[in-house]
Amino acid sequence: MLKVFLQYLHREGLTRRNLSPFIEPPRQYRHADIPRSITWGEVERLLDSIDRRSPVGKRDYAILLLLVTYGLRAREVAALRLDDIDWKHERVHVPGRKAGHSTTFPLSPVVGQAVVDYLWEARPTTSERALFLHGMAPFTSVTHGAISQVARRAIRKAGIEVLHPGSHTLRHTCVQRLVDAHISLKTIGDYMGHRTAVATGVYAKIDIEALREVALGDGEEVL
């Protein structure tokens, strides 16, 4: 902002020299931030806060389970269609991921039951093939922004404190759970649909126990 202001002053003839090139931007480091996630206890509290008696509640509950179970992006959930759920083989197909490929996951019984409850008891009757629809007419498919809003609203309703709550909070929480289970970063990257290993590398910082072992010298123990 300061650079733009100095450029403006020079352009208007208020300064003889353009001083904007002398403003150095703050240095930014790759992976300086820690991925934002919540504990599994908070996830349970989040899911318990959803009113599953209402049609919208049934839809939101299924959406949240997909986000936190498979670590899907908001746009991936929004793009799901009825044909992407293979009930016969108990699989869920996620097409067109960010890395340019598709992924097929085993359909978790909990996720499957939540989707069934939504389809049978809450989803509007329409020819639309998108899996999740808006709760009000004309019952169009939800957007990725709507998916993020569902997660953001649920996190705040549950009273969970996290910086910038949204769908990515649940995606990071899924990764945290995989890291805690000592799954390799390569496997996690494939599971999350990352394009490169660099995208997964940021999660190495949240494996606290592994980082403690790296910091230990010969003969030292964690206190």
Please indicate, yes or no, if residue 155 is contained in any of the structural domains: yes
pLDDT attached to residue 217: 60
Please indicate, yes or no, if residue 1 is contained in any of the structural domains: no
For residue 93, the cross-strand partners are 104
Catalytic residue among 98, 129, 153, 212: 98
Please indicate, yes or no, if residue 124 is contained in any of the structural domains: yes
Tell me the CATH number at 120: 1.10.443.10
Active site residue 30: no
Give, in order, the Cα–Cα distances in Å from 116 to each of 59, 169, 170, 193, 208.
Answer: 10, 25, 22, 26, 38
For residue 148, the cross-strand partners are none
Question: Collapsing DSSP states into helix, strand and coil, what is residue 104?
Answer: strand
Please indicate, yes or no, if residue 197 is contained in any of the structural domains: yes
Catalytic residue among 52, 123, 171, 172: 171
Please indicate, yes or no, if residue 93 is contained in any of the structural domains: yes
pLDDT attached to residue 52: 95
Active site residue 58: no
Q: Answer whether 166's CB lies under 8 Å from 184's CB.
A: no
pLDDT attached to residue 31: 54
Active site residue 73: yes
Number of domains in the chain: 1
pLDDT attached to residue 35: 62
Catalytic residue among 52, 123, 168, 172: 168
- 46 by Cβ neighbours in 10 Å (0-12 / 13-18 / 19+) ranks as buried
Q: Answer whether 222's CB lies under 8 Å from 215's CB.
A: no
Active site residue 171: yes
pLDDT attached to residue 36: 76
Q: Average pLDDT per run of 10 along the chain, which is 223 residues long?
A: 93 93 77 72 96 96 97 94 96 82 91 97 94 92 96 96 92 86 81 70 58 57 54
Please indicate, yes or no, if residue 15 is contained in any of the structural domains: no
Please indicate, yes or no, if residue 52 is contained in any of the structural domains: yes
Question: Collapsing DSSP states into helix, strand and coil, what is residue 92?
Answer: strand
Q: How far apart are the first and last CA of the chain?
A: 47
pLDDT attached to residue 197: 62
Q: Answer whether 78's CB lies under 8 Å from 84's CB.
A: no
Question: 123: closest CA among 49, 65, 46, 60?
Answer: 60
pLDDT attached to residue 221: 58
Please indicate, yes or no, if residue 33 is contained in any of the structural domains: no
Catalytic residue among 52, 58, 59, 73: 73
Enclosing domain of residue 136: 40-207
